[in-house]
Structure 1
Amino acid sequence: MSKTTVQPNKQQLLNRLKRIEGQVRGVHQMIENDRYCVDVLHQISAIQSAMNKVSLALLEDHTNHCVIKAIKDENGEEAIKELMSVMKTMTK
């Protein structure tokens, strides 16, 4: 069974993801059009940075809502363990 949650900043996250989607399409087009490698790499770097911002925003929301709620409900140890697992994955 998967967990669900209400994203407090859902629209902001969706807007960021739409911009990233457009950037990825732009990179696809750049490669199709044989654009200079360094230009493509700059765009890829911008996409990675934007994805990191989305990840950090989600991590912040998760910590401030889900983890805090779990601690209040006396299930904090499991929530913190899960949070640390996600942090390890994000920093690979």
Structure 2
Amino acid sequence: MSTVPTKAFKGRELAKRARISLPEARAIALKMHPGTVTDEELEAERGGSGLRYSFDIKEARGTFEVGVDAATGKVLENKLEGLVHD
């Protein structure tokens, strides 16, 4: 499990409204799919509390998008985005 430095965390201005921290949400997402976080953001999105962290996690089976509610830590989204090609 690792995190690749991204250009910048997207959603910094929304972070004040989140009850779950970015590191806590990242740990929840990585429990779903141990791999490498290639992108992460905090966004206003329908469902749950209306505020969620979104992570793209690259693993052996492909890249998964995992959404974690920023208020409760509940996983709201967990889907395969694409396959890994050599």
Structure number having the greater strand percentage: 2
Structure number having the greater helix percentage: 1
Q: Normalization by structure 2: what TM-score? A: 0.29
Q: Normalization by structure 1: what TM-score? A: 0.28
The structure with the largest alpha-carbon Rg is 1
